[in-house]
Structure 1
Amino acid sequence: MSSKEKPTLGFSIPCQELKKVHAQMIQFVFFAVNGTSGTRIKTRKRNIAAPLDPAAFADAVVQIYLDNAGDLELVVKNIESSELNFSRYGDTFFEVIFTGGRTQPGTIKPDEGERHPYSVLDCQPKREAILPSVLYIQKILRRRPFLIKNLENVMQKFLQSLELFEENERQKLAIFTALAFSQKLSGLPPETVFQALLKDNLVAKGLVLSFVTVFFKEYLVENSLDDLMLLLKRGKMEDKLLDCFPTAKRSTECFSEHFTKEGLLALVEYNEKKIFEVKLKEMKTTLTTQIAEETDISDVIQTAKQHVKDAKLPDVEVVRILWDMLMDTFQWSGKNQQQNANSILRQVNTWSGLLNAFCTSGKLELELMYKVQIQCYEDAKLMKLFPEIIRSLYDQDVLAEDTILLWFRRGANPKGRQTFVKALEPFVNWLEEAEEEE
């Protein structure tokens, strides 16, 4: 070998070049292990995200249904013993329960993959057919309470898409929703469920009205009307029942007609009572303000008559309201009882024309006496004023002599009867003597 030739190791790469490559490899390994700071680099598994595969999850759940022929007792046992990732695929899980398989993202259309025939939407639209699914979900939620949010998501999606379902499917969803609340499904929030319904296009097509009608009828099978109203209040729907009607039918008359036809008379009566109370409150507020501001009595009478007409208030109720308002606007001052007594009698005299405008029969006059008696019985400050108030109402032609005598002889209210009859006796004797003289 010539002294000028470079030795080799039997490869085509000269030894010098091989050493250079070897040095580079050593340097690479050094930095890979130690880095610039000399600290070992650690790979954190939690930073490695597993790919999403809801289709495989849905197929696995469907297979459990198929393997157990839809027996929900067996299904729930197999679900519990499985290693399925419910925390990641909760929405998909409930889609399988409701529709039998996975739905396409953002829709209610079936996606590719296995399906089972034991879903909520595949059963009969009857409570006995749907209730087992509700109880099955309840068992799942007790073990995995975090899934309630996923149930809420899926229900919201379906309720906001009612128009995409067939009529019998909407009926099943309504029955399921009623049973879910009736069975107090763990943590399901009424507000988010009900508010999902109030979409203008769904209301306009009458779909919301049909849904809530089925819901009400089903819920009231095992619950009282008070329970229903409490549920609607929690769902912020108590004052929005008319909003479920299409705009053209959004009236008290249509409300009463529809739910009476559907056999929900108790709901109709409740609504009428609620409307009555609202109008009653409006009347009290308006008239109390007018009386406090000393509005001309003719204007107050006109306002009262208009409210009575609009609210269709019974005459007896009007008399009670008017007396309450006269007393409510009176302000007690200091400890001088005589001054207070004089002020009350002045109040009665001033507004006697208002009372006279509505006490148009002996029956209504007697009702006014009952009202005065009860208020004097319940308010110790007024107890001694009873005979003077009655005398004042007589002097102002609000109460007739026959009415007072009838009350005295056999018409007094049981509350404090003996006390008030005895207190009024001198005035009654005077009336009877005057009558004999005539």
Structure 2
Amino acid sequence: MAAGNDMNFRLEVVVMVTTTGADSAAVISEDQRVFTLPHDPMLSKDTAQPRIPPPPPSRCHPRTSRSLGYPWTDGEREGRIVLDRVRLVMWRWWRMLAEKMGGGEDEGELFGGHGLDLEGKNPIFSRFLSLVFDLKDEIFFAASAISLLNPFLPFVPDLFLFALIAFGTTSKEKPTLGGTRIKTRKRNIAASLDPAAFSDAVVQIYLENAGDLELVAKSIESSELNFSRYGDTFFEARGRTQPGTTKPDEGERHPYSFLDCEPKREAVLPSVIYVQKVLRRRPFLIKNLENVMRRFLQSLELCEEDERKKLAIFSALAFSQKLSGLPPETVLQPLLKDNLVAKGIVLAFITDFFKEYLLDNSLDDLISILKRAKMEDNLLEFFPSSKRTAEAFSEHFTKEGLLQLVEYNEKKIFEEKLKEMKSALTTLIAEEADQSEVLDVVKQRVADAKLPEIEVVRILWDVLMDAVQWSGKNQQQNANAALRQVRTWANLLNTYCTSGKLELELLYKVQMQCYEDAKLMKLFPDIVRALYDQDVLAEDTILHWFRKGTNPKGRQTFVKSLEPFVNWLEEAEEEE
């Protein structure tokens, strides 16, 4: 340990000091040697006699351990070492305070019999504070050593705690090396956004190539512009797509924007091909294209009529050219804004879109796009609320020449009505409602939907079979249930099977269901016999089906199974 009265002593030599009694202290050096020192820590280690440390007894809480004879846990060893360094410093302060104030080593003599009183009763308290202020640098050194040792703070003398509180709010500036420059990591450098400069650079590329989109695409491909950061700006190029902007904010549009071309397919198609080339090189820009198109479509009311038509043509060609997987739901869903729909803007836009897309694609392709956009069943939502009827739909698109779309919509409405009718009748029959009530519902549904008689016969048979409680394993039980259903509701079938053509259609329907449903495969002759017995099917109808039936599905099997019944009919006819 360093000796003498020098204030700038070093603590590196001493690893740990702890009191062992009233008149001595134990010092452990860096080489793990233990010395018993007098109470004065200013002595050099050469005057101390080395001794071997006692073996550590059982584990003990550090707060009850004040001497080397009581151990600390392994995890507390490092903290205990630093703590006792601080205690050694406190001993040094104590002796220096005694020398400066001219007192003895005894605490009472040192402070004139008043003792160490931190509550303000000591008459020389102000002199003590002045001395502590002179030693504040060493106090901060000790404070930094013990800042992480909260569990050991009860071991620190009251003098050190007071000094730590008195000067803990002050900090000393750390030394810095002059002439150095701290560099920021590249990943932490945040460059300010400058979309205007990027937009100007893009426009300049257009101007330098005189609007030749092939040359522009090549220049864009070799350009080092930050497209990943300004993707939206690239597609806008001074356009107005942000909410809250006004027409003057847009600035001057460059002369090669597709919004300035003619509202024709031939004029817009080169722009679509150009965008496709850019996306092949930088596919990540597809998300930016979605954003810009969505914002344009949401602000259609701010565009002129020609501009809306150009946007419709561009959107249709983008899907027709399969523009790098442009998702329809992202582009078409924003059209369903109430204010745009109410003004008829959306209807005009979607009409131009349909007409342009169907020039190169089939109706099935268009329906596929509408399904992906989840708008297949919501075509009427493109119309203002006062015109959301099937008649208005047919009238509008017939006038625009989209007859195939009109036919598709009528078919869809028809299928929806059939579905509703089946659901209602199945519920009534399953609940064993009165036949007259069921017949009234059938007549009403047929009149509302304007269903043809052939379709009504098909629906009635489906409803009767759907209302049966089928058994999973018992074939005989299934046969009895099917035959009982036919006999019970024969009058309902008789009401609509009023001609040989309708009877033959019913027989074809029975054939198809028995062919598709394995549990009914062997019941075909029994069902035909039951329908004959209930006067639903005439003898001539059965013979016509047997001899000249046109439906090939399962025909050979069913003809063979029905042959005994047909032979019986022929014999009965001969006898008559």
Question: Per the shorter chain, which TM-score range?
Answer: 0.7 to 0.9
Q: How does 1:297-316 map to 2 (within 5 A)?
A: 297-316=435-454
Deviation string, structure 1 residues 122-172 (Cα, Å, up to 9, x no partner): 111112211111111112222222222221121111101111111111000
C-alpha contact 1:58 1:102 (8 A) present in aligned 2: no
CA displacement at 1:289 relative to structure 2: 1.9
Match of 1:18 in 2: none
Match of 1:86 in 2: 227
Work out the CA distance in 1 between the residues paired with 2:551 and 2:174: 102
- Describe the SS at the equivalent of 1:33: coil
Deviation string, structure 1 residues 206-257 (Cα, Å, up to 9, x no partner): 1111111111111112211111111111111111111001111111111111
Match of 1:14 in 2: none
Work out the CA distance in 2 between the residues paired with 1:360 and 1:129: 61
Deviation string, structure 1 residues 300-329 (Cα, Å, up to 9, x no partner): 222222222222222112211211222233
Structure 1 256/375 Cα, relative in aligned 2: closer, same or farther at 3 Å? same
Q: Which has the higher helix share?
A: 1
Question: In structure 1, which of residues 103, 106, 120 is the aligned counterpart of residue 240 of structure 2?
Answer: 103
Match of 2:218 in 1: 77
CA displacement at 1:391 relative to structure 2: 2.4
1:260 is matched by which residue type in structure 2? T
C-alpha contact 1:103 1:110 (8 A) present in aligned 2: no
Work out the CA distance in 1 between the residues paired with 2:355 and 2:469: 49
Match of 1:56 in 2: 197
Question: In structure 1, which of residues 227, 231, 246 is the aligned counterpart of residue 384 of structure 2?
Answer: 246
C-alpha contact 2:241 2:296 (8 A) present in aligned 1: no
Match of 1:221 in 2: 359
Work out the CA distance in 1 between the residues paired with 2:284 and 2:184: 30
Deviation string, structure 1 residues 11-69 (Cα, Å, up to 9, x no partner): xxxxxxxxxxxxxxxxxxx846269xxx9965446555333322222222112111111
Moved more, 329-338 or 319-328: 329-338
Larger radius of gyration: 2
C-alpha contact 1:59 1:114 (8 A) present in aligned 2: no
2:209 is matched by which residue type in structure 1? N
Match of 2:94 in 1: none
- Describe the SS at the equivalent of 1:172: helix
Q: How does 1:114-133 map to 2 (within 5 A)?
A: 115-133=253-271
Work out the CA distance in 2 between the residues paired with 1:378 and 1:49: 68
CA displacement at 1:203 relative to structure 2: 0.7
Q: How does 1:139-154 map to 2 (within 5 A)?
A: 139-154=277-292
- Describe the SS at the equivalent of 2:375: coil
Question: Is 1:234 the counterpart of 2:369 in the alignment?
Answer: no
C-alpha contact 2:241 2:292 (8 A) present in aligned 1: no
2:454 is matched by which residue type in structure 1? V
Work out the CA distance in 1 between the residues paired with 2:443 and 2:507: 21
Match of 1:9 in 2: none
2:264 is matched by which residue type in structure 1? K
- Describe the SS at the equivalent of 1:354: helix
Structure 1 430/46 Cα, relative in aligned 2: closer, same or farther at 3 Å? closer
1:365 is matched by which residue type in structure 2? E
CA displacement at 1:114 relative to structure 2: 5.6
Structure 1 337/93 Cα, relative in aligned 2: closer, same or farther at 3 Å? closer
Match of 2:548 in 1: 410
Match of 1:65 in 2: 206
TM-score normalised by length of structure 1: 0.83
Q: CA RMSD in A?
A: 2.8
- Describe the SS at the equivalent of 2:386: helix
CA displacement at 1:421 relative to structure 2: 4.3
C-alpha contact 1:59 1:115 (8 A) present in aligned 2: no
C-alpha contact 2:316 2:354 (8 A) present in aligned 1: yes
Work out the CA distance in 2 between the residues paired with 1:118 and 1:65: 7
CA displacement at 1:393 relative to structure 2: 1.5
- 5+ residue gaps in structure 1? 1-29
Structure 1 339/140 Cα, relative in aligned 2: closer, same or farther at 3 Å? closer
Work out the CA distance in 2 between the residues paired with 1:341 and 1:155: 61
C-alpha contact 2:460 2:493 (8 A) present in aligned 1: yes
CA displacement at 1:178 relative to structure 2: 0.6
Structure 1 120/384 Cα, relative in aligned 2: closer, same or farther at 3 Å? same
Structure 1 342/77 Cα, relative in aligned 2: closer, same or farther at 3 Å? closer
CA displacement at 1:379 relative to structure 2: 4.1
Fraction of identical pairs, as percent? 79
Question: In structure 2, which of residues 488, 491, 496 is the aligned counterpart of residue 350 of structure 1?
Answer: 488
Q: How does 1:171-320 map to 2 (within 5 A)?
A: 171-320=309-458
Question: In structure 1, which of residues 373, 392, 397 is the aligned counterpart of residue 535 of structure 2?
Answer: 397
Deviation string, structure 1 residues 59-83 (Cα, Å, up to 9, x no partner): 2211211111100111122223333
Match of 1:22 in 2: none
- Which structure's relative contact order is higher, taking Cα pairs within 8 Å and 6+ residues apart? 1
Match of 1:16 in 2: none
CA displacement at 1:437 relative to structure 2: 6.2
Work out the CA distance in 1 between the residues paired with 2:250 and 2:571: 99
Moved more, 320-329 or 230-239: 320-329
Match of 2:176 in 1: 33
Work out the CA distance in 2 between the residues paired with 1:388 and 1:45: 85
TM-score normalised by length of structure 2: 0.65
Q: How does 1:360-371 map to 2 (within 5 A)?
A: 360-371=498-509
- 5+ residue gaps in structure 2? 1-172
Structure 1 436/282 Cα, relative in aligned 2: closer, same or farther at 3 Å? same
C-alpha contact 1:104 1:111 (8 A) present in aligned 2: no
Moved more, 339-348 or 217-226: 339-348
Work out the CA distance in 2 between the residues paired with 1:46 and 1:109: 38
Structure 1 336/72 Cα, relative in aligned 2: closer, same or farther at 3 Å? closer
Work out the CA distance in 2 between the residues paired with 1:332 and 1:31: 89
2:278 is matched by which residue type in structure 1? I
Moved more, 129-138 or 114-123: 114-123
- Describe the SS at the equivalent of 1:331: coil
Deviation string, structure 1 residues 162-204 (Cα, Å, up to 9, x no partner): 1111111100000000111111112422111111111111111
Match of 2:58 in 1: none
Structure 1 319/186 Cα, relative in aligned 2: closer, same or farther at 3 Å? same
1:79 is matched by which residue type in structure 2? I
1:33 is matched by which residue type in structure 2? T
Moved more, 204-213 or 410-419: 410-419
